[in-house]
Amino acid sequence: MKHVLAVLVEDKPGVLTRVAGLFSRRGFNIDNIAVGETVSPGISRMTITVEGSETIVEQVVKQLHKLVNVIKVSNLSDEPSVMRELMLIKVNAEVGSRSDIQQIVETFRGKVVDVSPDSMIIEVTGNEDKMEAIKLLLQHHGIKEIVRTGKVALLRGSRITREHQ
């Protein structure tokens, strides 16, 4: 099963290496990781998607806690939360196929963000299923390139994941 972890870390040199190194040396798999600033100065938030059984994820969480620069780890998969990812897709778009692509993009509430004589870049946000679905539909036009941000997530409601509790 996939678990999404919110990890609050001190914004210090090498902290990403420490986290990534922990996963590789203990044989845990990172599906994806997204890092960015938080409302608290000096604190960054990592959203890490990890594949594994309950026991493995429990061990991942405990080992992350042992890193001195890690302040808090929450497993958002245990709670109702909003999860999103952003994907940019560069797809072949000859004049004749543009309207079909436009329709697909609209259905998925995506945006065309760049057009050239023979290709388009499409921006789409959502969960994993949505990403897979649009990829499938655009495939026969010929996808040239894809880039994804990795998942980010927040708890639903007014509760927050913060450094002090």
Partner 1 sequence: MKKKMTKGSAMILSALQKEGVDTIFGYPGGAVLPLYDSLYDSPLRHVLVRHEQAAVHAADGYARVTGKPGVVFATSGPGATNLVTGIANAYMDSVPLVLITGQVPSSFIGTDAFQEADITGITLPVTKHNYLVKNAKQLPSILSEAFYLASTGRRGPVLIDVPKDVFDQEAHFEYSVECEIPGYNPTYNGHAGQISRAIKAIRDANKPVIFGGGGLIRSGASDALKELAEKARIPVILSLMGLGAYPGDRDLFLGMPGMHGSITANYALSEADLIVATGVRFDDRVTGKLDSFANNARIVHIDIDPAEIGKNVKIDVPIVGDVKTVLEAILKKLHPGDTTGWLEQIENWQQQNPMPGAFKGTGSTVKPQYVIRELSRLCGDNSVVATDVGQHQMWTAQHFIIREPQTFITSGGLGTMGYGFPASIGAKIAAPGKRVVCITGDGSFQMNIQELATAVNNRLDITIAIINNSYLGMVRQWQDIFYDKRYAHPLLEGNPDFVRLAEAFGAKGMRARNEQEATEAIEQAIGEKGPVVIDFVVEPEENVYPMVAPNRPINDIIIGGDRS
Closer of 66 and 129 to partner 1 (Cβ): 66
Query: Does residue 45 contact residue 35 with C-beta atoms inside 8 Å?
Result: yes
Q: What strand order describes the sheet that includes 2-10?
A: 29-37, 43-51, 2-10, 70-75
Q: How many CB atoms lie within 10 A of CB 62?
A: 10
Residue-level length of the chain: 165
Selected binder of partner 1 within 63, 77, 92, 97 (CB under 8 A): 63
Closest contact distance (angstroms) between CB of 155 and partner 1 is: 21
| 69 near partner 1, rule: CB under 8 A | yes
**Which window, 5-13, 45-53, 128-136, 148-156, contacts partner 1 (CB under 8 A)?**
5-13
Residue holding tokens 């994804």?
Answer: 148
Q: Contact positions toward partner 1, by CB under 8 A?
A: 9-10, 13-14, 17-18, 21, 25, 55, 58-59, 62-63, 65-72, 163
